[in-house]
């Protein structure tokens, strides 16, 4: 994570957003400033960026064809406010007006076009390769989900953040092993809070 911020703040903010939201690659790239409420700290996922032949990008609906809201922590909101200020400054330098329809993440100075999905994937691959880490961009989504489940966040909430349908059935299927581990931890936690009954030595069995 530190390595992404060291490359440049925009790249660090992008990787951070993937981590804290658990959103799909195209969903994060399709975000515009109008989808982010910096007052309430709520991010609305409405669209996704897909890559067409020839390297062009297109905006489409989400995988489930439904929008969803994701709550952000205070630190992430602060980072996004700082990111927004950088974008506004760039637009000012270009002599163009900033507005909320501009993309949050973009490789163009005026943020009028989203980042290329494949470009982001390749950049992430190059970064982790330099670090000697064997992973890929989609693993961030898995990390976000498994950390939440391991921390005891309920399945329905995790499913909602990920954009899984069926009331958590998809999440349960994909992360069954992690859910089972969390369930085991829950049983041990409960047992640790209870006094285990022990029969008193020498007393006759009840009823005799």
Q: What is the pLDDT of residues 113-164, one digit of tens each?
A: 999 999 999 999 999 999 999 999 999 998 888 888 878 788 888 888 988 8
Q: Considering the entire predicted model, what is its pTM?
A: 0.82
Measured CA to CA, the distance from residue 15 to residue 28 in angstroms comes to: 10
1 touches 18 (CB < 8 A): no
What pLDDT score was predicted for residue 101?
96
All domains of the chain, ordered by start, with CATH? Answer: 2-135 (1.10.443.10), 137-195 (no CATH)
**Contacting residues for 138 by C-beta, under 8 A, at least 6 apart:** 25
What's the gap between Cα 199 and its chain centre? 51
What is the per-residue pLDDT across 12-38, written as a single tens digit (0 to 9) for each? 999 999 999 999 999 999 999 999 999
Residue 184: half-sphere exposure toward Cβ, Cα within 13 Å: 6
């Amino acid at each position: 994570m530190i390595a992404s911020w060291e490359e440049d703040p925009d790249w660090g903010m992008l990787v951070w957003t993937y981590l804290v939201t658990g959103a799909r690659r195209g969903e994060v790239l399709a975000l515009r400033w109008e989808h982010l409420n910096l007052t309430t700290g709520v991010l609305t996922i409405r669209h996704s960026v897909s890559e067409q032949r020839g390297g062009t990008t297109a905006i489409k609906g989400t995988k489930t064809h439904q929008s969803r809201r994701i709550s952000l922590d205070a630190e992430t909101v602060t980072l996004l406010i700082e990111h927004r200020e950088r974008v506004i400054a760039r637009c000012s330098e270009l002599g163009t007006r900033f507005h909320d329809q501009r993309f949050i993440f973009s490789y163009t100075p005026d943020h009028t076009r989203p980042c290329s999905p494949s470009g982001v994937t390749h950049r992430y691959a190059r970064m982790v390769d330099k670090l000697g880490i064997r992973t890929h961009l989609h693993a961030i989504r898995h990390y976000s989900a498994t950390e939440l489940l391991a921390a005891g966040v309920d399945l329905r909430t995790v499913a909602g953040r990920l954009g899984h349908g069926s009331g958590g059935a998809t999440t349960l299927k994909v992360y069954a092993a992690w859910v089972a581990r969390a369930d085991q931890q829950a049983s041990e936690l409960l047992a640790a809070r209870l006094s285990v009954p022990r029969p008193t030595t020498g007393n006759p069995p009840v009823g005799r």
